Amino acid sequence: METKYVYLFNEGDANMRNLLGGKGANLAEMSKLGMPVPNGFTITTEACNKYYDDGEVISDEIQAQIMEYLEKLEEETGKKFGDQENPLLVSVRSGARASMPGMMDTILNLGINDVVANTIAEKSGNERFAYDSYRRFIQMFADVVKGLSKKRFEEIIDEVKAERGIKDDLELTADDMKTLVEKFKEFYRSELGEDFPTDPKTQMMEAIEAVFRSWNNERAIYYRRMNDIPSNWGTAVNVQMMVFGNMGEDCGTGVAFTRNPATGENKLYGEFLMNAQGEDVVAGVRTPKKIDQLKEVSPTAYDQFVEICSKLENHYKNMQDMEFTIENGKLFMLQTRNGKRTAQAALKIACDMVDEGLISTDEALMMVEPQQLDSLLHPTFAKEALEAAEVITSALPASPGAGCGQIVFTAEEAKEEADKGKKVILVRLETSPEDIEGMAVSQGILTVRGGMTSHAAVVARGMGACCVSGAGDIEMNEEEGSFKVNGKTFKRGDWISIDGSTGNVYGEAIETVPAEISGDFERFMEWADKRRRLKVRTNADTPKDAKQAVDFGAEGIGLVRTEHMFFEGDKIKAIREMIVAKNDDQMQAALDKLEPMQQKDFEGIYEAMEGRPVTIRYLDPPLHEFVPTNPEDIKELANEMNISEAELNQVISNLHEVNPMMGHRGSRLDVSNPGIAKMQTAAVIKAALNVNKKHPEWNIEPEIMLPLIGDLAELKYVKKLVTETADAILKEAGSDMKYHVGTMIEVPRAALLADEIAEEAEFFSFGTNDLTQLTFGFSRDDAGKFLPQYYAAKIYENDPFARLDQNGVGKLIEMAANLGRKTRPDMKLGVCGEHGGDPASIEFVDKVGLNYVSCSPFRVPIARLAAAQATIKNEKA
């Protein structure tokens, strides 16, 4: 049987969203509900996909169906394309499954030519209106279908106005509009070497093709990537009879929401303009009126609209965003969709609708975008101040929040200035672990290099500090203490502001306001907690971050990166002594210094977590990260260490590796320096014993996690160092405290051999940052340089470091989980890479049955909601 590619509005309904797109399905649904919707038909998303499969041509079969439905539309409306008596005009609009506002193209007033314009002028008694519609159509068609620049059309309008000595578009007469039509056609011909198409059928087919094409314009591709919309969904195209809001004073057009999209207040919210077409409302040339005022101007239409609003909201059980037009006093609905809203409004609407008995708590949970909650957790810029400020450059929104401060270029400067009570923004080419303290005291971090999982981004998200990374337009002049961007120079001490939610950078101070968490938020999160199957832990390295995470609802720590503790104060010195040690005694002396410091760190974390589980991961990075790179610092360190510069340089050069991320790091450090694992074990066990003594009710059972394991024998070797040390301490203390040793799964080989590894590992935590890096063979620090070309070439749609690659890396996870549980059925499994805070990745993690995700503190609420949504979705599947 022939595939049906075209549906009349009255043949579809809201359940056919995948085929008809959101707009088409909702127009069909409104028709079905008996609402006044201008007649039309929808060309399916399948037709769009076929268009691409066929090499960007609309097949004869689809063209024939479109023509057949055009005839049906003509019958329904009693109007005809190109007719002298009763001409049909249509709009041609895109409509994908998910709403993509403004991303694709629209053409209005299609079907006009000289004859039709004349008829409309006569029938409406409004010549100006007819020719205004005509010239707008030529403009839109030329732009959308033929790619001619809009600018030249605007210039032509300006020229005509200048000739006539007028300033305002509204002063253009019917004759001026006619002149514009002629001039536009002339320009069209001279640019394209062909006449403007007079046949409405030709106009329509070309417009439909242009909408299909717009599915793959740059804006749309970018939007899809940001919003997780697969490119194989395609867009539908809606062809709908035009109704006119600009035919006279009893005509108008408007947009409205059933509730306030900014605050959530349950009150109709919107605006309208009489005698206007849709674009006039948005363009801001005339000031629209508040929707309530429609009551006075067009009472019948208003009453009907209010009734429809309430019907639609009840029907869709969600706040609706609607477009309407009034033609000669008669109301027409042109669109309805679930309205976009702020996080605050989203929570209020969800809670109110539950209280109104309109939706269940499950439905409420599905109504809020997890990612949106983020804006409720960080300080934000005052809205008006932000709108007035100038963007100097834009880069990756690496860690959300609003940062405003004076420029500093080093972590030391950041600390010095912050100590003086100043607010600073740390601007770096890229950050390294040495910068952590400086980052922690800054209002925000701006880096020239680096992607979404660069050091700066990961650490900033962990701290909840805002960060914009990869600002490649910035030319740094560190020597002079300045940078240049888009022709402007900024010096040390100048004020800038960065927006970690948009990636925008501003060359001035912008006022910030602290985040407010309302009662709805708490109530809503309780529903999420009741519903989710996955536990949510956090990645935290300090008591402060740990407490923050607990405030946000973390149930434990899934990853303490112990190396982050080594950079503070005396610890960096001790670890450097360890690195330059020439013999076992010197090594042991350095480790002996480190142990009590580590123990204190762990005690702090155990105290902050008040008995919640804490997984401590042993030293992971290659040791070169702990030694300085510039000659002056090297000299200073050599002095401090009491060795010659030459000796220190030799140590540093011995640490050099071609691929340090695939080098001497993780448990490999313990295999070559067993003292490190022993020292860390002593610190963990003693810390737990101490804290348990103070708080026996917490009953802490340390969870020790070994990084980057690739083989059972390797795990056995390092685990033995741990158990021998731990057991000796426990024996001496006369304690029967339990502890657990597990491993990260970060090396593909460990995933492949997970059944063997589980013989020794009590738990697995998937380190999806390294697992992604090593599965793709992409450096997590450098992939940002070439991934954009992969998106452009449609090889990959997403950054695999931000969104778990379910096909490849996900397959390894699922396999390793199953293999691990075959050996050890009650094995606890989690994810502690960056993906642990990403909603789409969390849905996958839930599906494959892991026990928990662990993410940075500021992502904990997002993960809690995403986990609840995952449970609801996966139960249905």
Residue ranges at the known binding site for substrate: 561, 617, 746, 767-770
CB 144 within 8 A of CB 105: yes
| Of 68-76, 92-100, 308-316, 765-773: span binding ligand PEP (CB under 6 A) | 765-773
Residues between 179 and 218 that touch ligand PEP (CB under 6 A): none
Each residue 318-357 as x (binds ligand PEP by CB under 6 A) or -, in order, gives ----------------------------------------
Report helix, strand or coil for 232.
Answer: helix
Q: Does 767 bind Mg ion (CB under 5 A)?
A: yes
Q: Does 781 bind Mg ion (CB under 5 A)?
A: no
Residues between 655 and 684 that touch ligand PEP (CB under 6 A): none
Using CA atoms, how far residue 693 sits from 606, 697, 703, 704, 733, in Å, is 12, 9, 18, 20, 11
Q: Which neighbouring-strand residues pair with 616?
A: 560, 704
Q: Does 770 bind Mg ion (CB under 5 A)?
A: yes
Distance CA 438, CA 426 (A): 8
| Of 27-35, 77-85, 279-287, 768-776: span binding ligand PEP (CB under 6 A) | 768-776
CA atoms within 13 A on the CB side of 397: 12
Query: What burial class does residue 76 get, using C-beta atoms within 10 Å of its C-beta: 0-12 exposed, 13-18 middle, 19+ buried?
Result: middle
* Closer of 559 and 870 to ligand PEP (Cβ): 559
Please give the torsion angle defined by the CA atoms of residues 451, 457, 458 and 463, in that order, rounded to the nearest 10 degrees.
-170
Contacted entry of Mg ion, ligand PEP, none for residue 210, CB cut-off 5 to 8 Å set by kind = none
**How many CB atoms lie under 10 A from the CB of residue 873?**
13
Contacted entry of Mg ion, ligand PEP, none for residue 833, CB cut-off 5 to 8 Å set by kind = ligand PEP
Strand order in the sheet with 475-477: 475-477, 482-485, 488-491
Distance CA 108, CA 243 (A): 10
Residue type, 836: G
**How many CB atoms lie under 10 A from the CB of residue 494?**
16
Distance CA 865, CA 373 (A): 9
Contacted entry of Mg ion, ligand PEP, none for residue 321, CB cut-off 5 to 8 Å set by kind = none
Running DSSP on this structure, what letter comes out for residue 57?
-
Among 768, 775, 869, 871, binds ligand PEP (CB under 6 A): 768
* Closer of 127 and 770 to ligand PEP (Cβ): 770
Distance CA 459, CA 469 (A): 12
| Of 10-18, 157-165, 767-775, 787-795: span binding ligand PEP (CB under 6 A) | 767-775
State the distance between the two ends of the chain, measured CA to CA, in whole angstroms. 30
Q: What is 670-733 written as a DSSP string?
A: HHH-HHHHHHHHHHHHHHHHHHHHH-GGG----EEEE-S---HHHHHHHHHHHHHHHHHHHHHH
Contacted entry of ligand PEP, Mg ion, none for residue 512, CB cut-off 5 to 8 Å set by kind = none
Residues serving a catalytic function are 455, 832
Using CA atoms, how far residue 691 sits from 565, 599, 686, in Å, is 19, 11, 9
Among 23, 93, 449, 561, binds ligand PEP (CB under 6 A): 561
The least distance separating ligand PEP from the CB of residue 513, rounded to whole angstroms, comes to: 33
The least distance separating Mg ion from the CB of residue 109, rounded to whole angstroms, comes to: 58
Which residues line the annotated binding site for Mg(2+)?
746, 770
The least distance separating ligand PEP from the CB of residue 298, rounded to whole angstroms, comes to: 60
Among 559, 637, 842, 860, binds ligand PEP (CB under 6 A): 559
772 closest CA partner among 661, 658, 850: 661
The least distance separating Mg ion from the CB of residue 455, rounded to whole angstroms, comes to: 12
Residues between 734 and 753 that touch Mg ion (CB under 5 A): 746
Q: Does 743 bind ligand PEP (CB under 6 A)?
A: no
* Closer of 670 and 746 to Mg ion (Cβ): 746
Q: Which residues of 599-620 are buried (b: 16+ CB within 10 A; e: fewer)?
A: bebbbbbbbbbeebbbbbbbbb
Q: Which helix (H) or strand (E) holds 853?
A: strand 852-855
Among 200, 767, 800, 839, binds ligand PEP (CB under 6 A): 767
* Closer of 434 and 770 to ligand PEP (Cβ): 770
Running DSSP on this structure, what letter comes out for residue 784?
G
Among 499, 714, 762, 770, binds ligand PEP (CB under 6 A): 770
* Closer of 380 and 772 to ligand PEP (Cβ): 772
* Closer of 16 and 771 to Mg ion (Cβ): 771
* Closer of 433 and 628 to ligand PEP (Cβ): 433
Q: Does 800 bind ligand PEP (CB under 6 A)?
A: no
* Closer of 136 and 561 to ligand PEP (Cβ): 561
Which residues line the annotated binding site?
561, 617, 746, 767-770
Among 352, 499, 620, 846, binds ligand PEP (CB under 6 A): 620
* Closer of 393 and 856 to ligand PEP (Cβ): 856
The least distance separating ligand PEP from the CB of residue 772, rounded to whole angstroms, comes to: 8
Distance CA 751, CA 744 (A): 10
Residues between 827 and 856 that touch ligand PEP (CB under 6 A): 832-833
Residues near Mg ion (CB under 5 A), total: 3
The least distance separating ligand PEP from the CB of residue 434, rounded to whole angstroms, comes to: 16
**Helix 839-847 and helix 860-876: axis angle, to 10°?**
50
Distance CA 809, CA 639 (A): 47
* Closer of 29 and 620 to ligand PEP (Cβ): 620
Dihedral over Cα of 830, 834, 835, 837: its sign: positive
Residues near ligand PEP (CB under 6 A), total: 10
The least distance separating Mg ion from the CB of residue 665, rounded to whole angstroms, comes to: 9
Q: What are phi and psi of 364, to 5 degrees?
A: -60, -45
- Residue 114 corresponds to which tokens in the numbers above? 């000289």
Among 769, 806, 841, 851, binds ligand PEP (CB under 6 A): 769
CB 326 within 8 A of CB 297: no
Contacted entry of Mg ion, ligand PEP, none for residue 139, CB cut-off 5 to 8 Å set by kind = none
* Closer of 595 and 746 to Mg ion (Cβ): 746
The least distance separating ligand PEP from the CB of residue 41, rounded to whole angstroms, comes to: 50
Contacted entry of Mg ion, ligand PEP, none for residue 320, CB cut-off 5 to 8 Å set by kind = none
Distance CA 5, CA 19 (A): 9
Q: Tell which phi-psi region holds residue 175, choosing left (phi > 0), alpha (psi between -120 and 50) or beta.
A: alpha
Using CA atoms, how far residue 66 sits from 235, 441, 712, 753, in Å, is 16, 63, 64, 56
Among 176, 374, 670, 746, binds ligand PEP (CB under 6 A): 746
The least distance separating ligand PEP from the CB of residue 838, rounded to whole angstroms, comes to: 12
Q: Which neighbouring-strand residues pair with 41?
A: 8, 239
The least distance separating ligand PEP from the CB of residue 433, rounded to whole angstroms, comes to: 11
The least distance separating ligand PEP from the CB of residue 832, rounded to whole angstroms, comes to: 5
Query: What burial class does residue 316 get, using C-beta atoms within 10 Å of its C-beta: 0-12 exposed, 13-18 middle, 19+ buried?
Result: middle
Under the rule (CB under 6 A), what is the footprint of ligand PEP?
A: 559, 561, 620, 746, 767-770, 832-833
Under the rule (CB under 5 A), what is the footprint of Mg ion?
A: 746, 767, 770
